[in-house]
Structure 1
Amino acid sequence: MAHTYKRIIIARTDKIGDLILSIPSFFMIRKMYPEAEITLLVRNYNYNIVKNLPYINRVVQIDRYRQKELLEKIKYFNADVFIALYVDNFVMELAKASKAKIKIGPLSKIKSFFIFNKGVLQKRSKSIKHEAEYNLDLIKKLDKKLFEDRFEINTQIFLDKSNLEAAEKFFKDNSIGDKVLVVNPFMGGSAKNITDDQYADILREIIDREKDIDVIVTAHISDEDRGLDLLEKIGRDRV
């Protein structure tokens, strides 16, 4: 018989691309435990992506709190399960503070072996799997049979009116048409990636072949200069 968990915390506290690729994992937790209270821990700049997910009870923006205050808040949630889809020293402190009986996370640092009692060995830097699959492997660790019985992929992002209005204004102000390619070339992790020059070569070739396409390059503020440099390297108008 499967365990029933009342309160589950899931932490995904790194950049936007990885958070988006965690959405199937958030959905699967709800599929597995329809009655559970699910709390997400995210960075402020990612809040808008997950705030409208209908199957999530609470989203905590961790940057809004001082460390001591946040640790107390995590303990107050009285979670049964803490799942870290990404791990650094701060996330491990949050996992420890949760007092959850089950703590799941990647075993990528020495300290993680002492923090996560249901850890998963993952060598994400080898890029053997898709990032979304690595995340789902951590969810599966909670209950393999229940996971497989109820498995379903859902990647939907729920936008509100203000999100749609902002996008429509951006498209109008930049004369963007109906055929659009969005590229997020930069990353903060250790997974494999191609070079900025290679991105420029590929995008230039796509633009030259697909005459009516517009390309949008996205970047975190910390990669803004690289993004602008990439636009120069591409050297095409519809970017």
Structure 2
Amino acid sequence: MPPRIIKHIEHLFKRILNLPFYILIGKGDVARIPVNAENIKSVLFLRPDKLGDMIATIPAMHAVKEHFPHIRVEVLASPKNYSMIAGDPGIDQVHLYTKNVLKDLLTIRRLRKKRFDLVYDPICHDSTTGLLLTKLIGKKAVHAAARKLSLRRYYDFCRPYEPDGDDHNIDNGLLIFEAFGIDPQTVNPFLPVFISEKSRSKADRFYSGLPDDNHYLVGVNISAGSPTRTLSMDKYARIINEINRRHKDFRFIIFCVMEQRGEAGELIKKCGADARLIPENLSLLDIGAIMNRLDILISPDTSMVHIAGTMQIPVVGLYSGHLRNFRFWRPYRQEFGAVVAKNIQNLFDIEPENVVDEFERLYESLMSKAAADSKQD
């Protein structure tokens, strides 16, 4: 049986089991919207899920703090994404949801005592976990969510989830502003992840150790968590060598997880280009500091693409043929390149020529824009 059908059956089974809970909690009250920001002293964002989801919601968290400095912004994170915001000075406090029942009950009890004025669930599908946390933690709070299907009725504010919609995950995070009566399109979405001075210093040491820093920097990320979500090392070598053949002054920065450093080293040996591997034992924020100096990033659809998007670094992204997923996670409100596979399960049919052509198109467009801007100055 196909995985998607199994997933639908699982969701249906969960809804049946949770039916008494849905009846008990009651529907939301749309009359509470829009809220008066002066009456909101604290907001809790729920992000007990994946790393990419947290990255996509960080602009909304920072924007709330920027628009309403008096509001205390707190986040319920997961072990997968906790470190992404744990040291962020724009977030007042980060709590951990572990999926350990006893620990989480204690966390919920502690958060419930904080009496948040608004609890925001930015998970863009029907999540019983998100609804349960919203109701248990925010007993008298305004219950807001981004997009839901059948569970939409249980929130005071929530937009409908559209399976064929063109909405981006960052825009969905910013929907919290509609609860305040503010058009999200008027809110600055480019509020990037926080990079500490320690991480910036590591990036400085890395770049200062290179022969010179006067190169066009192209990042190439080879890691994606699964072999089906990335390309072979042979294909990456062909991509780098062809770009290098056309642009001799380019320098390539190779990004990978620790487990693939051996493969990355072999990749560099296959390249006739100036290719450098990032240092080992870096945190994701350390990697973000190195990424921040790139001119273009080539990467499969991973958290690297999402971080680059918040930093407005042009990206050539490699995507599976799942078009809804592509629209949801494509580089955000900026010029970008995208190579989309025909297969929804893997990237195996993406060829180096496809990536190089898209890279050249993006590069030429960026150069033309830079030349036009220079003439205006």
TM-score where L is the length of structure 1: 0.70
For the pair 1:61 / 2:96, whether they are aligned, the reply is yes
Residue identity opposite 1:23 in structure 2: I
Q: Which range moves more in the overlay, 52-61 or 75-84? A: 52-61
For the pair 1:92 / 2:117, whether they are aligned, the reply is no
Residue 64 (structure 1) shift:
8.8
For the pair 1:214 / 2:253, whether they are aligned, the reply is yes
Q: Structure 2: state its 5+ residue gaps.
A: 1-33, 245-249, 278-377
Give the count of matched residue pairs: 225
Query: Could you say which residue in structure 1 is the equivalent of 2:360?
Result: none
Q: Which SS does the other structure have where 1:181 is aligned? A: strand
Q: Structure 1: state its 5+ residue gaps.
A: 189-193
Residue identity opposite 1:143 in structure 2: F
For the 8 Å contact 1:82–1:100, the answer to whether it is kept is: no
RMSD: 4.1
Partner Cα distance (1:45, 1:77) in 2: 24
Residue 180 (structure 1) shift:
4.5
For the 8 Å contact 2:35–2:179, the answer to whether it is kept is: no
Query: Could you say which residue in structure 2 is the equivalent of 1:25?
Result: 60
Query: Could you say which residue in structure 2 is the equivalent of 1:159?
Result: 195
Residue 182 (structure 1) shift:
5.3
1:16–1:203 Cα change, 3 Å: farther
Partner Cα distance (1:233, 1:8) in 2: 47
1:214–1:145 Cα change, 3 Å: closer
Residue from 181, 200, 215 that aligns with 1:144:
181
Identical columns (%): 15
1:202–1:120 Cα change, 3 Å: farther
Residue 161 (structure 1) shift:
4.5
Structure 1, residues 79-115: CA drift from partner, whole Å, max 9, x if none?
Answer: 11111112633222210112143212244353x2343
Structure 1 segments, 4+ long, off by >6 Å, are: 168-173, 227-235
1:121–1:201 Cα change, 3 Å: farther
Residue 25 (structure 1) shift:
0.6
TM-score where L is the length of structure 2: 0.48
Higher relative contact order (CA 8 A, sep 6+): 1
Residue identity opposite 1:51 in structure 2: A
Residue from 26, 39, 49 that aligns with 1:14:
49
Q: Which range moves more in the overlay, 86-95 or 8-17? A: 86-95
Query: Could you say which residue in structure 1 is the equivalent of 2:115?
Result: 78
Structure 1, residues 115-140: CA drift from partner, whole Å, max 9, x if none?
Answer: 322111123x646233212221x223
Residue from 136, 145, 160 that aligns with 1:105:
145
Query: Could you say which residue in structure 2 is the equivalent of 1:134?
Result: 172
For the 8 Å contact 1:181–1:213, the answer to whether it is kept is: yes
Query: Could you say which residue in structure 2 is the equivalent of 1:115?
Result: 154
